Amino acid sequence: MALTRVTEGMVGRLSLAASQDGLVKLARLQERLTTGRVLNRPSDSPVDTTTSLRLRDAVAMNQQHQRNAQDAQGWMGTVDAALASVTEQTRQARDVALQGGSSAAMGQAARDALASTVDGLRSSLLATANTTLLGRPVFGGTTAGEAAYAQDGSYVGDGGAVLRTVGPQEQVRVDVDGASVFGAAGNTVFDHLTALSTALRAGDEAGVRTGIGALNRDLEQVTTSRAEMGTRQARVEAAVSATAARELDLRSSLSSVEDADLPETIIDLKLQEAAYQAALGATARVLQPSLMDYLR
């Protein structure tokens, strides 16, 4: 049977190695307690590091969706306010047209006053149709210009859809096509108001009645657009709630991977400190014998 001779040097080296190992463990626990994190470098746990990176990517994407939803709410709020203004102004124009229903029996001054009111409402509607957000017309699609309609009432936008991604695989249109609100080319509310103004000045009762019917249809168009916008706003609000809930879930998962359990870490640190102190004491006793003790 082979025997291994244990020398004083071997004992010393083994004791020092064990002490150093204990010191490394103690330092890691102190770092974990100081930073509050289990993962301080990839080598701490390659598997958990990969999971952490994926969760952080998911958190960043979710935050982008939240910003997109907030931007969408800004667009939709602006559009909704503009549509409310369009509704009110179109109603006022129809009321003026109803007042002028018997324009032939009115004096010229009265007809001119009603026509001037209609002209003013047309100008106001045109300004509303060119409502902008951050320099972009909300009824102009994706146009690079600052206006959706020219002064003559012609559409100068491109009709493109402004979209925002508010969730995984979920996009919402945040603008409204000008044609769906103000009418197609040659049959817009601006054309109707111009014709109504001309009919009022001329005392053309048939023309005024035609204008009233056209404005009623214009009101229906605006109401339909507002209903569609309300549906989209509900989708965005639901997306905001969903992203907020998803944020909490992702943060919780990330915390479970990265963050240290402080009470458990404190206990482990105290145990490791006691073990290290015991190792130092044992090492001191091993290295204590002098040359005379060894010769005995």
pLDDT value of position 9:
65
Confidence of residue 104 (pLDDT cuts 50, 70, 90): low
Contact 118, 93 (CB under 8 A): yes
Tell me, yes or no, whether 127 and 182 share the same domain.
yes
- CA 75 – CA 69 distance, rounded (Å): 10
> Is residue 113 situated within a structural domain?
yes
Q: Is 173 helix (H, G, I), strand (E, B) or coil?
A: strand
In a domain, 105, yes or no: yes
Q: Are residues 80 and 222 in the same domain?
A: yes
Between CA 222 and CA 284 the distance in angstroms is 90
Give the tens place of pLDDT for each residue, 47-81.
Answer: 888 998 999 999 999 999 999 999 999 999 999 99
- 274 and 249 fall within a common domain: no
Residue 89 is which amino acid? Q
Same domain, 267 and 174: no
Report the CATH number at residue 241. 1.20.1330.10
- Is 37 part of any domain? no
Q: What is the pLDDT of residue 155?
A: 93
Question: Residue 112: how many CA atoms within 13 Å on its side-chain side?
Answer: 3
**Residue 227 in domain:** yes
Structure tokens at 252: 């919780």
**pTM (two decimals):** 0.78
Distance, CA of 245 to chain centre: 13
287: number of Cβ within 10 Å: 12
Whether residues 152 and 264 share a domain: the answer is: no
Report the C-alpha gap between 93 and 212 in whole angstroms: 9
Identify whether 59 is part of a domain: yes
Q: Tell whether 88 and 231 lie within a shared domain.
A: yes
- What is the per-residue pLDDT across 151-186, written as a single tens digit (0 to 9) for each? 999 999 998 999 999 998 899 999 999 999 999 888
User: Does 66 share its domain with 179?
Assistant: yes
Domain that holds residue 288: 260-296
Question: Residues 253-284: pLDDT tens digits?
Answer: 988 887 777 777 677 777 777 777 777 776 66
Q: Are 148 and 140 in contact (CB under 8 A)?
A: yes
pLDDT over 70, % of the chain: 86
Do 225 and 293 belong together in one domain?
no
Question: What does R_g of the chain's alpha carbons equal in angstroms?
Answer: 39
Q: What is the mean pLDDT of residues 222-227?
A: 94
Based on the domain organization, do 240 and 281 belong to the same domain?
Answer: no
Q: Is residue 13 one of the residues assigned to a domain?
A: no
Q: pLDDT at residue 122 above 60?
A: yes
- Whether 239 maps to a domain, the answer reads yes
Do 183 and 156 share a structural domain? yes
SS3 166: strand
Q: How far apart are CA 23 and CA 38, in angstroms?
A: 18
Average pLDDT over residues 99-127: 88
Length of the chain in terms of residues written: 296
Long-range contacts of 102-110 (CB under 8 A, 24+ apart): 102/205, 103/199, 103/200, 103/203, 103/204, 103/205, 103/208, 104/203, 104/205, 106/203
| Together in a domain, 244 and 112 | yes
Confidence grade of residue 286 (pLDDT, cut at 50, 70, 90):
low
Instruction: Establish if 128 belongs to a structural domain.
Output: yes
Structure letter (DSSP) for residue 37 = B
| 155 and 280 part of one domain | no
State the total domains in the chain.
2
Q: Is the alpha carbon torsion for 106, 108, 113, 114 positive or negative?
A: positive
